[in-house]
Structures are given as C-alpha cells and as structure tokens.
Amino acid sequence: MDGTLFSNARIIDPERGEIECGWLLQQRGSIVATGIGEPPAREGCEAIDCVGMCLAPGLIDAGVKVGEPGERHKESYQSAGAAAVAGGVTTIITRPDTKPAIDSPETLEFVKRRANTVSMANFLPMAALTKGRDGKEMTEIRLLQDAGAAAFSDCDRVIADTKVFARALSYARSCNALIIAHPQDQGLSVGATATAGKFASLRGLPAVSVMAERIGLERDIALVEMTKARYHADQVTTATALPALKRAKEGGLDITAGVSIHHLTLNSLDVADYRTFFKVKPPLRSEEDRCAAVQALSEGLIDVISSMHTPQDEESKRLPFEEAASGAVALETLLPAALRLYHGGQLSLTRLFQVLALNPANRLGLPAGRLRSGASADLILFDPDKPFVVDRHSLRSKSKNTPFDGQTLQGRILGTWVGGKRRFDGR
C-alpha cells in the first residue's frame, strides 16, 4: 500500500493559522499534498475518513525525562514511547538529567541506540551543558552535536557560577548550539518546596519568592546579550518575570521561552493537604501568575508548552512533602490538559498547535510540526471535545504520578502517525 489519504478532516494548520475542512495525503513518511473539500481520487492508498475530527501535526515535547540510563524502573524508552504516541506526542526531546547525566558522546550513543530499537515515537536527545551537570566545566559541545544532541541543558540545575555559564554560552554560540536553561536564582530558591505566599505560610512549607525566577531570567538575559548565544528558558511561570522576557525579545536577542503544562492548568492551592503529586519544579504558582502565563502564551510572548514529563515511582512520592521527589508525568495528558485552555476560550486551536508543535520544531530546526508538503508525516487525529476521567493506573508510563488523577479532561486521541506509520489507534 502506498501512503495514506485522510479525508473529511478538520485540518489544523498552525503555520498558516487556519482550520479548514479538507484532506491530506502522506506517502513514504512525508506529507505530499493537502487541500480543501473533497480529495482527488487516488488508487492504492489507505483511505481514512476522519468524519470531521481534527487532523493536526503531532506534538513536539521539549523536556521529557526518560529513566535511561539509571532509572529504567521509572520510565524506559519503550514505555515513554508508548505514552507519547497515546498522548499525541510524535517527537520527544529527552532531558539529560539521568543517572549518570548524558554528558559525553558515549552516553549519548547508548541512549540513541536504546531509543531507536524500542521507541515508537521520534526522539531527540539533549545533552548536558556541563559535565555531570555540576556547573563547573562545559561538555564537549561539538562532539555531542555530531553524536546527535539537539540542544544543551543542565535541566533544573542552575549554573550558579556566572563565569562558567558565560563561557559555556559563548562557546556554544560558536557551535550554533541551542542552550535550554532553567531561570532561577539558586540562592533564593534553595530548599524551597512551595511558592511564597499565604498558602505556603499556612502549611508551613519552605517557600521561594517569585522574584527568584525574575532574577534568574534577568541574569541569563544579560549573559545572552553579552555572548549572543541561542537561548531558550525552559519554564517562565511568573508574572514578574514576563516584562524582562518581553524586553529581551524586543531587543532582538535570540531568546525563546517555554512553560510547563502544569503551570498553565494548576495553581499552588492544588497542593491542598500536602499532595506530593502536585510537587513540581519550580513550585506551582498563584492563580494570578497562572493567568499571566496563559495570557503571555496567547500573545506570543511565551513560545512553547512542554510536558516537563518527570516520572517518579511510588516510593519517591509517598513521603512527607518536603522529602518527596519533584515532578509529574504528563506525556499522555499533555494535549487534553492543554485543550482546557482552548475550551476555556483562552487559546485558539491553531495557537495551541503553534506552541505545542510548530514553535518547538522551528526552535530545534525539525522538518515537523507543520502540514506543508515535504514535512514529516507526524500526524494526530483527535476529538477535541470527548470527555474522559483520568485514571492514573491506566497510564502507559511506568510511573503513575499524574496530578490529574480522577479529574475529567476533554480531548481524545483517535490515531497517531509517526513518519507515516500508524503508531496508536484510539478509536
């Protein structure tokens, strides 16, 4: 059989910013043609009648933690891939905060080999920016690039030594490498498990001021101005940090910013009685900050939504709040959770797919995240309205630490195609 013809679909094209009823043809892993209305007759293709459901580019998720090497019991490439395609994520950008960190070409090659043999989704590895993510010596950036590193990040560890970070940024510039950093002032945020405010005070949790994020971002922006590096802030989650981001973008710096799905859909009060599944990094913010982040996303100030998928086993979460591990799994719930913003009238579907697919693809230079002919046939078919109740035990991730357990979300994936091959069937 030669290719697939999707007809009668609501086609969401984030690149043109339009939604139209029409058809799409993919052949040999690439999109060949799209059009409005009835498709031309075509022999020998698998024909899929989408019955008016949404057809869109698959999601590209920058910042997924897979537990290989070191913590395969929390998440393997196999389970992460299965969770990804079930959630409509066709490309995962993996984080190097593994044990040991992915900081050498040898480790990177091991990871690539593992992923390519077992994973159902595309995946691109990031590498650490400093050896062991210790913030002291930069990694072999060019060798890692040649081995396939898509970007460089020390993940949630901040390089506190400004001189080390400045050198790494400036060296990375000469390799045209993208740096993904976690804007946070380390001194202020040390030991914190909540955002400073009435809730944290009442619960007696060590807390960090939102200013820590602004200070971190302002510092990074100054360093980017100094070094002209390509920089992406992994999570900008507070209203107070947004003006700095705006200024930097207007000043022409090569800066983009992301935000995690949890900071867009949950706030600090959700922690309630020390619920550790809601412990993430940075900690959940106030409702005002959440609204500001959503607003910034709709205005184009924030560019990317990522899942910040962080699998944790039961043992690391069944602890007192301060001792429990941070992070939440999110690959499978990324799209339904993001659709909350669409159903709430805050983001259009086309904008949603810009921040979930097109923008991360552009930032990483991937030929995906769009429906233009010639692009990879990474596609999802979904029903944006269908409600379902999240049951954490039915997640495909090995770890079940989702904050949405028991909640009703809307949006069901009906099918996922990676490189033209059907990888998930949710009908």
Partner 1 sequence: MFLTQRHLLGIEQLAPDEIIAVLDLADRYANQNRQRSKLTKVLKGMTQVNMFFENSTRTQASFELAGKRLGADVMNMSLQASSIKKGETLIDTALTLNAMRPDILVARHPNSGAVGLLAEKVDCAVINAGDGRHQHPTQALLDALTIRRAKGRLQSLCIAICGDIAHSRVARSNILLLGQFDNRIRLIGPPTLMPSQVEQFGVEVYDDMAMGLKDVDVIMMLRLQRERMNGGFIPSEREYFYRFGLDGHKLAQAREDAIVMHPGPMNRGVEIDSEIADDINHSVIGEQVEMGVALRMATLHLLAQSLNSSTKRMQAS
- Nearer to partner 1 (CB atom), residue 63 or residue 283: 283
Candidates 115-123, 200-208, 326-334, 400-408; binding stretch for partner 1 (CB under 8 A): 200-208
Residue 188 interacting with partner 1 (CB under 8 A): no
Using CB under 8 A, count the residues that bind partner 1: 21
**CB closer to partner 1, 250 vs 323:** 323
Alpha-carbon distances, residue 394 vs 397, 413, 424 (angstroms) = 9, 15, 15
Of the candidates 330, 354, 350, 332, which has an alpha carbon nearest to the alpha carbon of residue 342? 350
Q: Which stretch binds partner 1 (CB under 8 A): 1-9, 190-198, 296-304, 340-348?
A: 190-198
**Alpha-carbon radius of gyration of the chain:** 21
Encoded amino acid at 270, one letter: D
Q: Is 202 in the site for partner 1 (CB under 8 A)?
A: yes
Nearest approach, Cβ of 196 to partner 1 (angstroms)?
4
Single out the residue of 52, 70, 204, 387 in contact with partner 1 (rule: CB under 8 A).
204
Using CB under 8 A, pick the residue from 273, 374, 393, 427 that binds partner 1.
273
**Backbone conformation region of residue 140, classed left if phi is above 0, alpha if psi is from -120 to 50, else beta:** beta
State the binding string over 300-319 for partner 1 (x if CB under 8 A, else -): ---------------x--xx
323 touches partner 1 (CB under 8 A): yes
Query: Does 1 help bind partner 1 (rule: CB under 8 A)?
Result: no
Nearest to 124 by CA among 147, 101, 154, 100: 147
Applying CB under 8 A, does 427 fall inside the site for partner 1?
Answer: no
Of these, 85, 200, 266, 341, which contacts partner 1 (CB under 8 A)? Answer: 200
Q: How far is the CB of 315 from partner 1 (least distance, A)?
A: 7
Asked if 406 touches partner 1 (CB under 8 A), the answer is no
- CA distance readout (Å), 346 to 166, 264, 333, 350, 407: 37, 11, 19, 12, 20
Query: Residue 275 or 422: which CB sits closer to partner 1?
Result: 275
User: Residue numbers of the site for partner 1 (CB under 8 A)?
Assistant: 196-198, 200-207, 209, 273-274, 315, 318-323
